[in-house]
Every structure is written in C-alpha cells, then in structure tokens.
Amino acid sequence: MSITAIVLAAGEGTRMRSRHPKVAHKLLDRPLVSWPVRAAREAGAERVVTVVGHGADEVRAILADEKGVECVEQTERRGTGHACRVALEGADVREGTVVVLYGDSPLLRAETIRELVGRVEQGDTDAALLTMTPPDPTGYGRIVTDEVGRVKAIIEDKDCTPEQRASLTECNPGVYAFDAARLRAHIGELTCDNAQGEYYLTDMVEVFRRHGLSVEAVHCDDYSELLGVNSRAQLAEAARIMQRRINERLMAEGVSMLDPTTVWVGPDVAVGRDTELLPMTMLWGETSVGEECVIGPNTRLTNATVADNVSLEETVGVDVTIERDVTCGPRAYLRGGAHVLAGAHVGTHVEIKNSVIGEGSKVPHLSYIGDCTMGAGVNIGGGSITCNYDGVHKNRTTIGDNVFVGSDTMMVAPVTIGDGALVGASSCVTRDVPADALYLERAEQRIVEGYAARRLERLKRDEA
C-alpha cells in the first residue's frame, strides 16, 4: 500500500516576526519546510502533499526545487485539522497510509517516521502518533491516557485547566500516521469548539476512539528530534542540534574537527576520511571534499567538488572544482566555474573565475584570473590580471604550458600567450605572444647619477 505524507506549512509563524513565512526560514542551508519533505521521502512516502497558505508563492518557489512535491493551498487558516482535510481533498488521497508532519519540525528522522508508519501499514492500529516528554511542556498539546495507558485525547495547552497543565507532562510533537480511508471518512467530524476556534487535527484521537478505531502512542525518548520551531531562538537551537548530529556522524566516519562547535556542514555535503575541518569552516550545498584534506580555518565552500589531499586555508569557493594536491589561500576566492587542476597553487588575495588553472601552475599573490585557460607549469607573477571585460563582452585569455608571466602584467583579452613564452614584469599584453618568445612592453629606463641628492640640496637652500 502507498504512503502519502502531508506536510502542514500554511501558518504565518507570527513569533518569528518576519516578512517571510516561517517555513521559508533556513535551518543550516535548507529551508525549514524542505526538512520534513526530505525526511518523508527518505521514509518511503511516494506522494508528498504540502499545504501552503501564508506566503504561498514563496513556499511554492522553495518546493519547486524539491522533485514531485504537490502543493495544495489552504486559503483560510482554520487549524491543523482543517489544513489536513484540505490536503486530503485537494490531492484526492483515498487509500494507503497517511503520515502528517508539521512544516516547522525539521529535526525528525526518517527512521522515526518509518517506524510510526509501519504500525499502521502492518495493520497493528488504525492510527499512531508520537509522544515526548520535553523539559518544558509549555505550548505543547498534552497527552491524556486511559486506565490502561492508551492515548485517549490530546488537549491543547490553551485548553488545559491549570491542574491539567501542571500534571500532564507527556506532550504531542505533531507526528501522526493514519489509515487514509478512515481518516478521510471521519475528518469531517472535527469541530472548532475550543479556545482558538480552530479545527484541531489532535481531536482525531477522540473521533477515532468514538468509532472504536485504535490509536497507538509511541513514546520517543529523544526530545531533540521533535523540537518545533516557533521563534528565532528555537531556530538557532534547532540549528545547534542539527550541527551536532551532522558533525558527530562525520567524526564517526573519520573526519577530524578541532572544534566541532564552530564547523557548519550542510545535510548534502560529503567529507572523506582523514580530512580535517578547522574552526570557522562552512560547507554548504552539494559540496564534496575528498580524503586527507585540510579545510580552514575560516573557509566557506558552496557546491564545491574537492579531491584528495587539498589544503584550503581561509578560502571561499562557490561552484568550483579543485583537483588533488592543490593548495589555496590564505584568502583565495574561487568562484563560478573555477577548475584548479592537480598540484596547482592559488595563493593570497587571488580571485579565480571561470578559468582552468593548469596542473602544477601557480598564481601565488594578488591576482585576478577570469575567463582564462591556463596550461601546466605556469607561473603568474604577483599583481597580474586578466583584463577580461571590455565593458560589454567577457573575453578569454589563453596561456600555454610553462609560461612565465612577470609581476604586474595586464593581459588584455582576447589574447593568447604561447607555450614556454616569457612576459616581462609590468607589461601590458595586447597582442598574441608566440611560443618561446619574450614579450616586453616597458618605457625606456633612464638613470641620472646624483640627481636625487642635488634636488634635496636645492629644496633645502630655497627654504633657508
């Protein structure tokens, strides 16, 4: 039977105090709503239906990046029960198992969802829900059990009597699995006769029990997996929890970290064995780092592919590929389409864009290399620049193998420097240079013996 996940994400999230809908805020580098969506997929959900409402366009745009997610719009926010009903009807869900997740609970693991769904799928129960005992139950719906310990009802915090609020410590994290046909048959029986005047999904427990259907509670001991994000403080708390989870996994896999509290690695990043991540390092997007690398301190990579034995010190790399045995930094900036081949070196205050840096080539100091194809064994002297932009077009510079470019050279593209050529320091290269030639563009040198001393004498005399 099929599994459909319904992710509720129509709320505004007033406590975030934001122009953006709550679920658009990012946890690490992934929007909140995408976390339960991915977890549901990983847990085996064939369909993922997301209920959008507040800031619907922004949430839809985020979900457009997630393959095959269906969006249903809840035009009026009338509660979680209403949102779930809108999803069932809007996406015409009739059979199999439905798992309902809240868009503001990003820490839930796929295994936990799978376990809960399994109870309903195997026919053990008509509905199952997770429960937790958080250190502070304020704000959460409370679980009420009957004489034999079965869940009888969920009472929202706002609807609790002071006695209930004090005595009921088991809480509802908002994760449920239902037999789809039964949920669909009875969801219309919810009422909005409560403190908030909303249709509560939590009341389905009582509705199911009234019809003699079974509801099973599964206590989850790890409260940190169920934290709901309602405020920016909780968002930061959730980020810390996820950071720890990811870093502990990486360390268990053989990655070293001098201080894991200062290393931030996104969920889609891979890091190889014996690589060391130094403080203030951030790895985002679809980044992968090979083995035996030293990354950081203070390095940020986004969508970077890094091979083995690479050292990136204080380096920013976005959409780049770095081959083995490369060293970069401190303070290198590699961006869009930089491809640094094996054994190359990109040094201090150097920017590389849309260029190939050839095998073993060196760009050690204060240079800009953009739209350039560079051969192997090249040395670019400090302060050299490819002048790639004429105000309208981006033009290419082509540098052959074993070229030596002296310091402070301007290469005005489009221009080609042949294999083995030598460019004298401070030249402005505007014409192609043949292989093995010397190119020199420099004003004639003059030396006037004793001039400086004579000038100083004269100035002092005039002052006296």
Residue 425 near residue 407, CB atoms below 8 Å: yes
Based on the shown chain and the rule CB under 5 A, indicate whether residue 13 belongs to the binding site for Ca ion.
Answer: no
Cα separation, 79 vs 99, in Å, equals 17
Based on the shown chain and the rule CB under 6 A, indicate whether residue 8 belongs to the binding site for ligand UD1.
Answer: yes
Q: How far, in Å, are 200, 425, 452, 454 from residue 445 at the CA level?
A: 86, 14, 16, 20
Cα separation, 366 vs 381, in Å, equals 9
For 230, the 3-state DSSP assignment is coil
Min. distance of Cβ 155 from ligand UD1 in angstroms? Answer: 9
Q: Based on CB atoms, which residue is closest to ligand UD1, 216 or 308?
A: 216
Structure token pair of residue 207: 């509705």
Using left for φ > 0, alpha for ψ between -120 and 50, and beta otherwise, residue 394 falls in: beta
109: buried, middle or exposed (CB in 10 Å: 19+, 13-18, 0-12)? middle
For 23, the 3-state DSSP assignment is helix
Is 121 labelled a binding residue? no
| Site track for Ca ion across 103-132, x = CB under 5 A | -x----------------------------
Residue 77 interface partner, choices Ca ion, ligand UD1, none, CB cut-off 5-8 Å depending on type? ligand UD1
Residue span binding Ca ion (CB under 5 A) among the ranges 100-108, 254-262, 296-304, 411-419 = 100-108
Residue 83 interface partner, choices ligand UD1, Ca ion, none, CB cut-off 5-8 Å depending on type? ligand UD1
Residue 108 near residue 175, CB atoms below 8 Å: yes
20 is catalytic: no
Query: E strand or H helix at 209, and its extent?
Result: helix 204-210
Size of the site for ligand UD1 (CB under 6 A): 28
Q: How many Cα atoms sit within 13 Å of 106 on the Cβ side?
A: 29
Choose, by CB under 6 A, the member of 173, 266, 360, 406 that binds ligand UD1: 173
Is 442 labelled a binding residue? yes
Choose, by CB under 6 A, the member of 172, 305, 309, 386 that binds ligand UD1: 172
Min. distance of Cβ 22 from ligand UD1 in angstroms? Answer: 7
| Site track for ligand UD1 across 181-210, x = CB under 6 A | -------------------xxx--------
Nearest to 272 by CA among 303, 240, 305: 305
Min. distance of Cβ 242 from Ca ion in angstroms? Answer: 17
Residues near 149 by beta carbon (within 8 Å), at least 6 away in sequence: none
Based on the shown chain and the rule CB under 6 A, indicate whether residue 154 belongs to the binding site for ligand UD1.
Answer: yes
CB nearest ligand UD1: which residue?
A: 141
Strands laid side by side in the 141-145 sheet? 151-155, 141-145, 171-172
Residues near 106 by beta carbon (within 8 Å), at least 6 away in sequence: 27, 32, 35, 36, 229, 238, 242
| Site track for ligand UD1 across 411-440, x = CB under 6 A | ------------------------------
Residue 109 near residue 93, CB atoms below 8 Å: no
| Site track for ligand UD1 across 99-138, x = CB under 6 A | ---xxx----------------------------------
Residue 137 interface partner, choices Ca ion, ligand UD1, none, CB cut-off 5-8 Å depending on type? none
Residue 400 interface partner, choices ligand UD1, Ca ion, none, CB cut-off 5-8 Å depending on type? none
| Site track for Ca ion across 223-252, x = CB under 5 A | -----x------------------------
Residue 139 near residue 104, CB atoms below 8 Å: no
Q: Based on CB atoms, which residue is closest to ligand UD1, 102 or 368?
A: 102
From the candidates 20, 186, 349, 365, give the one annotated as an active-site residue: 365
Annotated catalytic residues are: 365
Which residues in this chain contact ligand UD1 in the complex, by CB under 6 A? 8-11, 51, 53, 74, 77-80, 82-83, 102-104, 140-141, 154, 156, 171-174, 200-202, 228
Which residues in this chain contact Ca ion in the complex, by CB under 5 A? 104, 228
